[in-house]
Structure 1
Amino acid sequence: MDDLLPEDFTVFNKIIRVVKELFRLYGYNQIETPPIEYYEIFAAKSGEEILQRMYVFTDKHNRKLVLRPEMTAPVARIVASKLSRRPLPLRLGYIADCYRLDEPQWGRRRRFYHGGFELFGSKDPIADVEILMIVNDFFRNIGIAEFSFKIGHVGIHRALMNRAGIREEIQDEILSLIDRARIDEARDLAKKNAKNLAPIRTLEELILIEPAPAKNLVEKVLGMLDNYEEAAEAAMNLFQIVTLASKTINSELLIYYPGFSRGLGYYTGMIFEVYGPLAEVALAGGGRYDKLVELFGGRPVPGVGAAIGITRVYQYLVDKLGQTEVVQPPDVYVAPLSQNAWGYSLDISRKLREQGIATEIEVMARGISDVIKSCEKRGIRFLIIIGDKEVEQHQITVRDLNRREQTQCSLEELWRIADLIKGGR
């Protein structure tokens, strides 16, 4: 788990600002859930890989608890309970820290932040495409010009396994193995539990298809599914999503991976991840989960969503693209030259802040030359100097450190100084 220093937060907060602006632009209302949840919230459909990496503990009341490893399940829990009577659609957003017991390496931290968008109430492709558009806008707005969508559809895989007679819990295991690139184990488990091997052979063929731009490849896959109505319907759903998304997103960025699966067991339809060319880990991901709210005792409510990996995007911007942000200095620095000037200086600082001017005050009793050097080093342009003379005469001395100019005014003219400082930002 990492410490974040002031210079780290300049980039980190830039990412959060972009996420929050997308909340506003797309109409997503921000929520928060506790970082500690009941184990059962994640036990059913989080997938084997996440279950093995959760921080699990028992409290003094003998309740089995976890530090949340992801956010979609807690949000679905809220929709099933506290928001169950709200009119649909529901657009919910979050910025949250999550925890997984990963081996620390680039792109994997034991504590990491997600910025999420969850849309409840619609099964139609237009909802899936809204989520893809949000993620596309995020990467464009944050300054990552090169990226692509890795797209798949769990519904196709599940339909073929349904046709083969494989139980849902075994399907979850198979999809988890595929997600971890353990293809041979997935195939063996499928064949062991299948009552009809023909659909499994088709699934195996799908997994081996090389990825390609989505629109053309989905049409090819549709032709392989003539004998499997449910799987063909899922493929047609993906075709509709890709066709609609191509009207607002560059179609060359939408790459279909027929064998793609995600480790979370609650996905039912389209799934995706976003990759940049300079890293092998996903920077964002999401998909459709039409049965998750019902799993928590709610009414059947379809859902689709995405999580931006804020921590990974931060690392990508800084480590791979070399982006840095300077810690923003205050607009003005107030330097009292004696203890007698402290009260007057504090009052001036308060008045400036009331006008929206970021103001720091000298608290170390340094000499004026040292204060000036410090301000110049930090990039602070305006310095207000308060000595005994200024206190007695109710005046203010303002020095513009860029222009090497100094002016005086009365306390009543503070508004003029405020305008000067605002103009020099």
Structure 2
Amino acid sequence: MFLPAGSQDETGVQIANRLKASEIFRKVTEKRNFKAISTPVVEYAHTFTNKIAGMDLQSMLKWFNSEGEIEVLRPDWTAAVARAIAKQHPSFQKWAYQGSVFRIDKDGTESRQAGIEIVHADPFLGESECLLTAVDYLKNIDINNYVIELGHTRIFEQMIAPLQLNQKEEEALRSAMYDKRMDLVEDLLINHSSEIKQDLVSLIDAYGGKEVISQYEIVWADQPELLSILDHIRKLIELLESTGLSEIIVDLGRVKNLPYYDGIMFRGFITKDGSTCFSGGRYDRLYRQFEQETSAVGLAFDVDLLAQHMITENSLSRGCIIAAPETHAIAEKYRSELPEDIVDIQYKLENEAVYHTVYEVIRENNQYKVVRK
């Protein structure tokens, strides 16, 4: 039977790597004092589509329940976790989750994530702990060739403030900036100040190492808020570098891809192919829907993608015991003699090459025993 678009079966290494990644994530976050949390896979759409969360209902798998309310399969962990912990005592700050999200605007309808959320903590502490947890986790799953990117939502927001754009105009411009479309940015701002237009177009290329910060400290010398943002990013870079991480880049022209981001943003890219292995950022404003003014920051790993890039090493020897229906129990007992091996039992050996060692149950002197072939 065929599968719906966006669904797929999986076998073998991908599953094994994902399970390994999941267990290592649990151990890493537990040792860093994160508390596990899980939310229902079915939620009310309003949790994600309300004015503050601002997500697009069209991208969700949805239906009407018997009461006429729209329900969805969880499209996002951050908004779901915020709903779940909004009434929790603020003394506990660090939360970790694992599970699927469902979106119809992605290549696959279902994707597996593992993530962390830090709420009510000192802002710099929360951002630092997010990034250092990411470094710790990637090290533990033997992914070492990656780059961390830092950006900030308020750079774009402050630069367009004088334009007084309406919501539709702002979203169009934000989308053009996100796609790095210089030509489209120029077209959208054709009736606005040429100076601001040029500043935004130039910002698309404000991408690279720490030297980008130094360059824009000169450009924004008379803009204290932007200088403060640059200083904030520089401190995070210095923190990461002090732990031995050198592959860090800055994208001052990056704009938010989720409506609720409102501060620092970060992403991790696999060096081999540029794929995004984690993303996250600050989202204080998300808690205003619960009448809370607090700090909140988090990130999520793409576990499916991590599983594809993990090194598969099977150190266990793979053996096969050839038996028959009447000797199957004897073969089963012999498993205890091979406690460190992967042991298969077959009645007929089809492909000896897939095993390191082959054994056989034989009858000798009216007794059964297992011997190596």
TM-score by length of 2: 0.79
Alignment match, 1:421: none
Alignment match, 2:89: 85
Alignment match, 1:58: 64
Q: Work out whether residues 59 and 104 of structure 2, in 8 Å CA contact, stay in contact via their aligned partners in 1.
A: yes
Work out the CA distance in 2 between the residues paired with 1:94 and 1:334. 44
Question: Secondary structure in 1 aligned to 2:71?
Answer: strand
Alignment match, 2:4: none
Determine which of 99, 103, 106 is the counterpart of 1:100: 103
Work out the CA distance in 2 between the residues paired with 1:190 and 1:300. 34
Alignment match, 1:75: 81
User: % of aligned pairs identical?
Assistant: 20
Q: C-alpha offsets along residues 123-177 of structure 1, whole Å, 9 cap, x if unaligned? A: 4323212211222233333233321112211122233344655678975664344
Task: Go from structure 1 to structure 2 and tell me whether the alpha carbon gap of 1:28 and 1:187 turns closer, same or farther (over 3 Å shift).
Answer: farther
Work out the CA distance in 2 between the residues paired with 1:15 and 1:266. 28
Work out the CA distance in 2 between the residues paired with 1:177 and 1:40. 28
What letter corresponds to residue 223 of structure 2 in structure 1? Y
Work out the CA distance in 1 between the residues paired with 2:179 and 2:112. 22
Determine which of 8, 15, 35 is the counterpart of 1:2: 8
What letter corresponds to residue 129 of structure 1 in structure 2? S
What letter corresponds to residue 111 of structure 1 in structure 2? E
Residue 262 of structure 1: how far off its partner (Å)? 2.9
Q: Work out whether residues 125 and 240 of structure 1, in 8 Å CA contact, stay in contact via their aligned partners in 2.
A: no
Q: Work out whether residues 32 and 94 of structure 1, in 8 Å CA contact, stay in contact via their aligned partners in 2.
A: yes
Q: Work out whether residues 175 and 261 of structure 1, in 8 Å CA contact, stay in contact via their aligned partners in 2.
A: yes
Task: Go from structure 1 to structure 2 and tell me whether the alpha carbon gap of 1:337 and 1:111 turns closer, same or farther (over 3 Å shift).
Answer: closer
Task: Go from structure 1 to structure 2 and tell me whether the alpha carbon gap of 1:68 and 1:226 turns closer, same or farther (over 3 Å shift).
Answer: same
Work out the CA distance in 1 between the residues paired with 2:304 and 2:233. 30
Alignment match, 1:36: 42
Pick which of 15-24 and 33-42 moved more.
15-24
Over aligned residues, Cα RMSD in angstroms?
4.0
Bigger RCO of structures 1 and 2 (CA < 8 A, at least 6 apart): 2
Pick which of 177-186 and 55-64 moved more.
177-186
Question: Secondary structure in 2 aligned to 1:246?
Answer: helix
Q: C-alpha offsets along residues 159-204 of structure 1, whole Å, 9 cap, x if unaligned? A: 3344655678975664344324455656666788x9xx69945851
Residue 64 of structure 1: how far off its partner (Å)? 0.9
Q: Is residue 2:133 matched to residue 1:138? A: no
Q: Work out whether residues 56 and 64 of structure 1, in 8 Å CA contact, stay in contact via their aligned partners in 2.
A: yes
What letter corresponds to residue 251 of structure 2 in structure 1? Y
Q: Where does the alignment leave 5 or more consecutive residues of structure 2 unmatched?
A: 1-6
Alignment match, 1:413: none
Work out the CA distance in 1 between the residues paired with 2:89 and 2:128. 26
Work out the CA distance in 1 between the residues paired with 2:171 and 2:122. 21
Work out the CA distance in 2 between the residues paired with 1:155 and 1:260. 10
Q: Work out whether residues 76 and 293 of structure 1, in 8 Å CA contact, stay in contact via their aligned partners in 2.
A: yes
Work out the CA distance in 2 between the residues paired with 1:305 and 1:199. 35
Q: Work out whether residues 204 and 254 of structure 2, in 8 Å CA contact, stay in contact via their aligned partners in 1.
A: no
For residues 21-420 of structure 1, the aligned pairs below 5 Å read 21-43=27-49, 44-45=51-52, 51-81=57-87, 84-89=88-93, 91-102=94-105, 108-162=107-161, 174-182=173-181, 200-201=196-197, 204=200, 207-213=203-209, 215-251=210-246, 253-295=247-289, 297-317=290-310, 323-324=311-312, 338=326, 366=347, 370=348, 373=349, 379=355, 397=369, 399=371, 401=372
Task: Go from structure 1 to structure 2 and tell me whether the alpha carbon gap of 1:135 and 1:199 turns closer, same or farther (over 3 Å shift).
Answer: farther
Question: Secondary structure in 2 aligned to 1:283?
Answer: strand
Question: Secondary structure in 2 aligned to 1:291?
Answer: helix
Alignment match, 1:12: 18
> Where is the helix percentage greater, Structure 1 or Structure 2?
1
Work out the CA distance in 2 between the residues paired with 1:80 and 1:179. 31
Q: Work out whether residues 14 and 308 of structure 2, in 8 Å CA contact, stay in contact via their aligned partners in 1.
A: no
Residue 259 of structure 1: how far off its partner (Å)? 0.7
What letter corresponds to residue 37 of structure 1 in structure 2? E
Task: Go from structure 1 to structure 2 and tell me whether the alpha carbon gap of 1:149 and 1:361 turns closer, same or farther (over 3 Å shift).
Answer: closer
| Aligned residues between the structures | 366
What letter corresponds to residue 63 of structure 2 in structure 1? F
TM-score by length of 1: 0.71
Max Rg structure: 1
Q: Work out whether residues 7 and 327 of structure 1, in 8 Å CA contact, stay in contact via their aligned partners in 2.
A: no
Alignment match, 1:416: none
Residue 18 of structure 1: how far off its partner (Å)? 2.7
Work out the CA distance in 1 between the residues paired with 2:318 and 2:245. 41
Residue 302 of structure 1: how far off its partner (Å)? 0.8
Residue 99 of structure 1: how far off its partner (Å)? 1.2
